[in-house]
Chain A
Amino acid sequence: MITKEEVEHIGWLSRISLTEEEAVKYATELSSVLDYFNQLDEVDTSGVDPTYHVADLMNVFREDEVSPSLPQEEVLRNAAEKKEGYIKGPRIM
């Protein structure tokens, strides 16, 4: 169903670095779940609209009004690394 390579690809898309063994293991496990999901192929959904929302709501807005932001120390408090008011991370590439 789903190959080790595909698992590695979605692992990258999901930013989860998998080991070789994990990719093999997940390929088996995910295949059996996908196999179960494939039973939906039996259902005739021609002409059926998808349901994205169950609450029957439309046009929910807020007015363009300013409300207080968090203090800078609250914004930074949970970050692993920070510098001079910025949150710091490793280089991009």
Chain B
Amino acid sequence: MPETIKQVKEKIANSSAEDVISSYLEKIRRSSINGFIYVAENALDQAKAIDSGNNGGALAGVPIAIKDNISTIGMPTTCGSKILQGYVPPYDAHVIERLKAEGAIILGKVNMDEFAMGTSTETSYYGPTLNPWDTERVPGGSSGGSAAVVAAGEAPVSLGSDTGGSVRCPAAFCGVVGLKPTYGGVSRYGLVSYANSLEQIGPLANSVEDIATLMDVIGTYDHRDSTCVNRDINYRSSLEDDVSGMKIGIPKEYFGEGIDEKVEEKVWDAIGKFEELGATYTEISLPNTKYALAAYYIIAMSEASSNLARFDGTRYGPRSEGENWHMMASKTRHECFGAEVQRRILLGTYALSAGYHDKYYLKALKVRTLVKEDFDRAFSDVDVMMAPTMPSPAFKLGEKMEDPLSLYLSDVNTVPVNLSGVPSISVPCGLADGLPVGLQIIGKHFDEAGILKAAYTFEKNTHHHMNTAGEVI
């Protein structure tokens, strides 16, 4: 059974961190969903240290799973890629330092689409992760491992990263809560970059409260990330069961064509619930939404083509034979990057190359401005926006592997958020054909408080979060 931080802490108080961690490790050992790429050898030692020490941290003894693109001292960090096989970082990401300082115990590193490029966790070099609700289906991606292990009860909480929906999508597909913080809200120091200007590390959990608790830990200012914004936010203080007077915007472009009817139905039910609880809603328009997807992919691929240039077999990772350095690098990259990563690097290189820079890259950044302006305009009238996180419930393994474009299209409701940098949370809002549906709540810049309050109130007044992969209520 999936647990919350509070439940874990109660167990620790009643027995010990060692007992709690060993039962999680046991669950991971018996797992059949391939969520973990690496299980921390020293987790039990850390638990014993917590039991014998006096760490009064907010997460003392609480186990957590970490997406494998977040750097961890002494633990492999592969990004789900062969090109980082065996790479062990000599430093911790900011979020890892913070978790350790608060007494959290890292259970291990969880699976992901290679370099976070995907919506299904099928592109991982370490094999696909399966959806605990239906093991013939994908868990979503790219933080598929982070969501699946939380849904399967193999970790109470996890960290993922969200470049175009990579926390919210798997959260929706696996029936857990996932937050994409405002750009600049969480330090990216130690997060292996896919698309720097779009992505943030975000928490996944079984409750909204746990999301707020994790944000209080990881969301502190860090001078090592020049794009980190120095703000003093107390996330937990926004956990209020009260949405009376809240104005909800319903962006019409996020509904209709391409969106599964049953998904829409669950989302409208949720909006009805908010109305019942004292909120009001109006339909709004974000007219440039239809161009957001193309703009997003051009920007992400362009940045990725440069970010992934450092993987050349020289300083870390495997190395192929080549008659000279350039051939060695070309062969290493050919042999160790998967097909989707190669596609995106090639497209990104093309979009930045002489003659195409203005047509693709610069154009996409201008469209980004329009998308951002859509949000700014709409948010002058409403407090939050609500929409389906994903157009459909989890799809079958292999279903979209052959057609990259159809996979890209499933990000249609999540990428505009990353283009504009605003925060967004996905919470479970019921089932469609026995599979979880995610409600996406989008907020204003640095108004995590607004969306956490809405999500918390929804959770307090519904039972959807109690549906679990093993047991539907």
Contacts and interface: CB of A to CB of B under 8 A. Distances in A.
A89 interface: yes
Interface in A31-88: 32-34, 36-37, 39-43, 45, 48-55, 57, 60, 62, 70, 74-75, 77-81, 87
Nearest to A9: B353
Given A14-B333, A48-B366, A30 B197 contact: no
B343 A29 contact: yes
B368 A51 contact: yes
Given A17-B334, A40-B291, A55 B183 contact: yes
A32 to B, nearest CB: 6
B434 interface: no
Interface stretch (B31-39, B148-156, B322-330): B322-330
Nearest to B91: A70
A43 B288 contact: yes
Interface in B220-244: 223, 226-227, 229
Contact-residue bracket for chain A: 35 or more
Given A10-B353, A37-B297, A90-B328, A30 B421 contact: no
B183 A81 contact: no
Contacts of B342: 16, 26
A39 B294 CA distance: 8
Contacts of B334: 16-18
A77 B88 CA distance: 9
A49 B343 CA distance: 29
B346 A11 contact: yes
Contact of A54 (B197, B298, B345): B197
Nearest to A54: B421
A54 B87 contact: no
A46 to B, nearest CB: 9
Interface in B375-412: 404-405, 408
A51 B420 CA distance: 9
Given A45-B366, A48-B370, A89-B314, A53 B227 contact: yes
Contact of B327 (A17, A43, A52, A75): A17
Given A52-B365, A90-B325, A15 B333 contact: yes
A80 B363 CA distance: 40
A75 B184 CA distance: 29
A53 B328 contact: no
A93 B327 CA distance: 9
Contacts of A91: 324-325
Nearest to A75: B90
Given A13-B353, A40-B363, A45-B367, A74 B90 contact: yes
A49 B288 CA distance: 15
A43 B370 contact: yes
B317 interface: yes
B313 interface: yes
Interface of B: 86-88, 90-91, 183-184, 197, 223, 226-227, 229, 288, 290-291, 294-295, 297-298, 305, 309, 312-319, 322-331, 333-334, 337, 342-343, 345-347, 349-351, 353, 360, 362-370, 372, 404-405, 408, 419-421
- Enumerate the 3 nearest inter-chain pairs by beta-carbon distance, A residue then B residue, closest first: A54-B421, A50-B365, A78-B316
